[in-house]
Every structure is written in C-alpha cells, then in structure tokens.
Amino acid sequence: MMPDLGKYADTVLSAYAASLVLLIALVWWSIRRAAKVKAELEDIEARRNGKT
C-alpha cells in the first residue's frame, strides 16, 4: 500500500533509500568494529594471563 506521493515521489523514495543504505552501513560498521575490538581484547587478556 503505497500512498500517492505525486510530484514528490522521486524525492521521498530517494530519501527513504538513502536512509536505508545509511542504516545498513552503520549496522555493518558496528558489527565489524565489535568483532575487531573483541579480538583485540582477547589478545590483551591472553597476554595479561601469560598465554602469549
């Protein structure tokens, strides 16, 4: 059920698309960063516990 957007359809739909792309990029970046930080913390903990 798409509302009739008239002459603003292109603008509104492109804004939705841009927002969706940015949200996906932020989620991807957050997951990637979390994995990197987790690996770094595991490395630090291993060195701290003498398990080089």
Contacts of residue 5, Cβ cutoff 8 Å, sequence gap at least 6: 12, 13
| pLDDT at residue 52 in the model | 57
CA distance linking residue 32 with residue 9, whole number of Å: 34
Taking residues 18-32, report their average pLDDT.
98
For residue 7, the 8-state DSSP code is G
Higher pLDDT, 36 or 2: 36
Q: What is the pLDDT of residue 1?
A: 72
d(CA 47, CA 16): 47
Residue 51, classed as helix, strand or coil, is coil
Specify the pLDDT at position 51: 66
